Structure 1
Amino acid sequence: MSAGGTIFGIPLKYVSLITLCIQNSTLVIVMRYSRLDKENLYYTSTAVFLSELTKLLICLYMAGRNQIHETGRFNIPELYSQIFAPDSWKLMIPAALYTIQNNLQYVAVSMLDAATFQVTYQLKILTTALCSVIMLKTSLTGIKWFSLVLLTFGVALVQMPSGDSVESKEDDDATMEKIVGLGAVAVACVISGIAGVYFEMVLKGSKASVWIRNVQLSFFSLFPALIMGVWWKDGTGVWENGFFYNYNYIVLSAIACQAIGGIIVAMVVKYADNILKGFATSISIILSFLASVYLFEFIVTSTFLLGATLVLTATYMYSKPDPPKQESLSNNKEKDDGYGYDYAPANNVNGNGYTSVNGSEPQV
């Protein structure tokens, strides 16, 4: 399947755009919907663990399939040696960080509406850029710096309350929930930036395939998800009520979206350019906004619309490719991993801790 191919007559780059939009918006909406019933909440730590386990199984299958494609046979000892290579321990750090981030996302969507979460979570663009500048000495153009300032200003506007609210105890509780939710988003964005840039440092010079790296990442994520989440955070409740307490098809859908969403994106995003990726993120924000109005009775304010517009503009500006520089082409071009897959700089690790093929940061 070539980059210029089609599916049902539709160019693959537009199929990628549609897939990105669906993945980016559906996950946030389903996660938010699964947390609406405050009387029958499930344990989010078990959802994170199951999501990582599902990703591990899918990536194992894809790694085995890739091995057959490359060598013509399936060799378990060779696959095992690739997964548990001497440098595999480096994935422990981003695995732990992504596990914390995924748990914080559940906290955030429990406290914030889908539209506010989706817009605010774009701050991960800012944190990833800053971490890249600090840790990798990356140089950003003036346009990108301006887009980051615009992004920050837009997110700040989204958080401004409407001026016609009446003080009450319920308002105080709602305000406290929003503060907790915004705090969770802020920490998740910082973690996303640090983990993404660290992961890029690990990928540079690596000869392992993208699927092997994601098997390693998912495998090492199981331990913090089980120990810090299921055992330490929700251990008492899980022991008394069971691992699958208050699970239903909505919860399973949220787990499935989180597990397979990034994988779907990883397989198709290589056909979309940076501008289309920016469009996908922008459209997903709009879809989340419309869904919040329709499903969650989200109240639209003028400041939210202005802030969201600035975030959409900043996201598009940041996604535009820089003018080519002869001396930096060898450093900035996307690199082939030797297994038929590409990887690119740090913003190509998505919000779920999954490495995208020629990727983007889809998100959540």
Structure 2
Amino acid sequence: MSSLLAVGFAFSVFIYGLDAILVNLAKDFEGNLPFNSATVALLVDAVKIAFSLVFLAGESLANHVIHPVSIRESIKFSFPALLYSINNNLFVVIQVHADPATFRILSNMKILTTAILYRIIMKRLISSKKQLALVLMTLSGMGCSYSGIASHKGDAGLDSGHMTLHLSFTGLFLILIYCGISGLAGVYIEMILKRGTQTSLHFQNLIMHIYSICFNYFWYWTSSKTSSSFLDGYNAWTVAIVLTQAMNGLILSFVFKYGSNLTRILIISCATLVTTFMSHLIFHLQLDANFFLALALFLVAFYLYHR
């Protein structure tokens, strides 16, 4: 069983580290995203709903008792659904303003926001060692921000066919919002999933993604152009984005229900190395000394936090 869990964890890390890579592969020659991010979020929710229905049907055939939730309880899922719908759109937009490795390093600020909100909402104490780790992680993010902004030249971060570290001030601002929303959504969804211990995880997912698809349809309705079709700008990479983001969401819901945000943080942390390695391999990302210093600080913080 331990080997199975290890394989599952490795797969989760790989999928999580892959998402930013796929968005950058889907860009056009000018470094812009040719599709509407709201359509991607809509399709991600549709895939999650389809999988939830299949899993629920499997539980029903296996004669598992599916405990429904009241309308009052179901409304609680609307809040994390709103937060995740905002973040799913933000995630795609951020890739225009930052390279994948810089984004992944900075997105580890989720650990800081999650830890603070864990203390406030879940009433869990943070040890002095973990507080030091969070300080180092913040310094790592600051160092990576400096490196990316210093290298930013107002383009898509491409230099003679090679991707360079780049981060605009808009990108930094959006990443900070993204991390704050992610921390809040993660802690809140763990709390409500675990309170409904007898309710099927797939039924809970179904409720949340129905809310989410409604919110994402609103974003699509407000952002779509009358002359464009739903699938404008789509290619094989866009389809891969939809499938990987759907898998990410389903995997993390399992982690929230049966594990904790600490496991989620571990997955996010390890995914940083995957994204950095793949960015260098696929885009020939040019890394500088500031980036390696930020990465080293992050690895030390990671060791202290999980020791």
TM bucket (normalised to shorter chain) is: 0.7 to 0.9
Give distance in 2, aligned partners of 1:134 and 1:269. 18
Give distance in 2, aligned partners of 1:277 and 1:231. 32
Note if 1:61 corresponds to 2:54.
yes
Q: Spell out, residue by residue over 1:202-226, the C-alpha distance to the aligned partner (whole angstroms, 9 max, x if none).
A: 2343232221111111110011100
Pairs aligned (count): 297
Give distance in 1, aligned partners of 2:254 and 2:297. 30
CA contact (8 A) 1:16 1:268 kept: no
Note if 1:128 corresponds to 2:114.
yes
Which residue of 2 is the match for residue 223 of structure 1? 214
Which residues in structure 2 correspond to 1:1-364 (within 5 Å)? 3-4=1-2, 11-38=3-30, 41-71=34-64, 82=68, 85-161=71-147, 171-172=153-154, 178-206=168-196, 207-227=198-218, 229-232=219-222, 234-235=223-224, 237=225, 239-264=226-251, 280-320=267-307
Give distance in 2, aligned partners of 1:266 and 1:162. 32
1:275 Cα deviation from its structure 2 partner: 9.5
Please provide the CA RMSD for this pair: 3.1
Give distance in 2, aligned partners of 1:200 and 1:271. 9
- In the superposition, relative to structure 1, how do residues 267 and 69 fare at CA in structure 2: closer, same or farther (>3 Å)? farther
Identical counterparts, % of pairs: 26
- In the superposition, relative to structure 1, how do residues 279 and 48 fare at CA in structure 2: closer, same or farther (>3 Å)? closer
Give distance in 1, aligned partners of 2:10 and 2:267. 7
CA contact (8 A) 1:16 1:271 kept: no
1:85 Cα deviation from its structure 2 partner: 4.1
Which residue of 1 is the match for residue 163 of structure 2? none
Comparing 186-195 with 176-185, greater Cα deviation is found at 176-185
Partner of 1:126, secondary structure, is helix
Give distance in 2, aligned partners of 1:225 and 1:84. 24
CA contact (8 A) 2:41 2:89 kept: yes
Question: 1 or 2 for the larger relative contact order (CA 8 Å, sep ≥6)?
Answer: 2
Amino acid across the alignment from 2:60: Q
Give distance in 2, aligned partners of 1:138 and 1:276. 15
Structure 2 segments unaligned to the other structure (5+ residues): 158-165
CA contact (8 A) 1:157 1:304 kept: yes
CA contact (8 A) 2:84 2:185 kept: yes
The structure that has the greater radius of gyration is 1
TM-score by length of 2: 0.85
TM-score by length of 1: 0.73
- In the superposition, relative to structure 1, how do residues 188 and 22 fare at CA in structure 2: closer, same or farther (>3 Å)? same
Give distance in 2, aligned partners of 1:219 and 1:277. 23
- In the superposition, relative to structure 1, how do residues 103 and 162 fare at CA in structure 2: closer, same or farther (>3 Å)? closer
Give distance in 1, aligned partners of 2:149 and 2:115. 34
Partner of 1:289, secondary structure, is helix
CA contact (8 A) 2:193 2:256 kept: no
CA contact (8 A) 2:113 2:183 kept: yes
Give distance in 2, aligned partners of 1:218 and 1:163. 36
Give distance in 1, aligned partners of 2:64 and 2:266. 38
1:86 Cα deviation from its structure 2 partner: 3.5
Amino acid across the alignment from 1:98: Y
Give distance in 2, aligned partners of 1:184 and 1:194. 15
1:281 Cα deviation from its structure 2 partner: 4.2
Give distance in 1, aligned partners of 2:256 and 2:195. 22
1:290 Cα deviation from its structure 2 partner: 2.0
CA contact (8 A) 1:14 1:272 kept: no
Give distance in 2, aligned partners of 1:269 and 1:127. 16
Comparing 283-292 with 182-191, greater Cα deviation is found at 283-292
Which residue of 1 is the match for residue 161 of structure 2? none
CA contact (8 A) 1:34 1:251 kept: yes
1:153 Cα deviation from its structure 2 partner: 0.7
- In the superposition, relative to structure 1, how do residues 36 and 301 fare at CA in structure 2: closer, same or farther (>3 Å)? farther
Which residue of 2 is the match for residue 354 of structure 1? none
Give distance in 1, aligned partners of 2:217 and 2:256. 31
